[in-house]
Structure 1
Amino acid sequence: MPALFTRLSRRRELLRIPAHLLQEAVAEGWSKWPLETGGILLGKPGPDGHVVTDLIGPGPEGRHERYGFTPDSDWQAEQVAARWATDSNLHYLGDWHTHPGGSTRLSRLDRSTARDIAAYEEARQPNPFMLVLALGRDQTVRVGAARLINDRLRRVVVHPH
């Protein structure tokens, strides 16, 4: 029995995201290339992982830079409130962003952002997900994600469906 427990405890967590939402994020990323963009992930916990049900972009006043972006926080808050008004079971799961010409590896700033989210009481998310879309110069897209657990970002499996 101990070997089975060890195997199960090492299993990576699953983040499910509908293909159309993933494509929406990718399209937003290419529209800002070679600058970064991103937004918010909303969803629900499921029996075999969390499910992203909604994606919110950077907003009209978002600022996009080569190695970072600043969202239009007021606009995002309005969007989240509107979605919660129609589905109070939604959870803020974390953030998504792009790495133009980069990798899915999370940067020091990404790690700091995850910790800030976890510490921000209004987010009600002590273990946020960070979804990264690496947009390659050769038009490739790689997807990676991690979740902050015990103050460490741990890789999760992203499953488009």
Structure 2
Amino acid sequence: MILKNRHNNLEIVFEESLLKEIETIAVQHYPNEFGGFLLGKYSEDFKSVVIESIILPYKYKASPVLFQRSTKDLEKLFIKEYQENSRYYIGEWHSHPNGSTMYSGTDLNAMIETAESDEVQIKNPLLLIISISKKKMQNFTFYYYSEKKLFAYE
């Protein structure tokens, strides 16, 4: 699947099977929000990013309207992904149970903190929000972070 963003002309490329995997994980945590990290790589010309896999947090807090993940104890996984598959952190995903795929102020603030963190090497992370019901994903939206704003893919 390929999505484009009018703001930056950056394409997102991903397999539907990866989206299905994210859906399955999110539905398993219903009615609470849940999420994780997106891994992949940019093309040489930086006009597209390929999302290839995810990493799930070991530690997190979740409720029907909140998801806070920790990066504690994940450094080795990120290093292994880079060394073995040349994949690195490109963004995050989380679910909105019985909600829309529109980001909240909390979501935006989390992306601002991530982009400004010394531990993160990219300044324009992606955010995927999926809307789920008890049984399945209802919808999904990818966002591109830039200049303290999130821009939706179509």
Question: Is this a same-fold pair by TM over 0.5?
Answer: yes
Superposition deviation, residue 69 in structure 1: 1.6
1:68/1:84 CA distance change after superposition, 3 Å: same
Q: Which aligned pairs between 1:36-47 and structure 2 lie closer than 5 A?
A: 36-46=33-43
Partner of 2:50: 51
Q: Alignment partner of 2:83: what SS?
A: helix
- Would the aligned equivalents of 1:36 and 1:69 in 2 still touch at CA under 8 Å? yes
Query: Please, which runs of 5 or more residues in structure 2 have no aligned partner?
Result: 1-5
Matched length? 148
1:147 aligned onto 2:131: no
Q: Which aligned pairs between 1:3-152 and structure 2 lie closer than 5 A?
A: 13-46=10-43, 48-59=47-58, 61-87=59-85, 89-136=86-133, 139-152=136-149
TM-score by length of 2: 0.84
Partner of 1:6: none
TM-score by length of 1: 0.81
The runs of at least 4 consecutive aligned structure 1 residues that moved more than 6 Å come to: none
Partner of 2:3: none
Superposition deviation, residue 72 in structure 1: 4.0
Partner of 2:153: 156
The 2-side partners of 1:28 and 1:140 are apart by 10
Query: Please, which runs of 5 or more residues in structure 1 have no aligned partner?
Result: 1-8
Superposition deviation, residue 97 in structure 1: 0.4
Highest CA radius of gyration, 1 or 2?
1
- Would the aligned equivalents of 1:133 and 1:143 in 2 still touch at CA under 8 Å? yes
CA RMSD between the two structures = 2.2
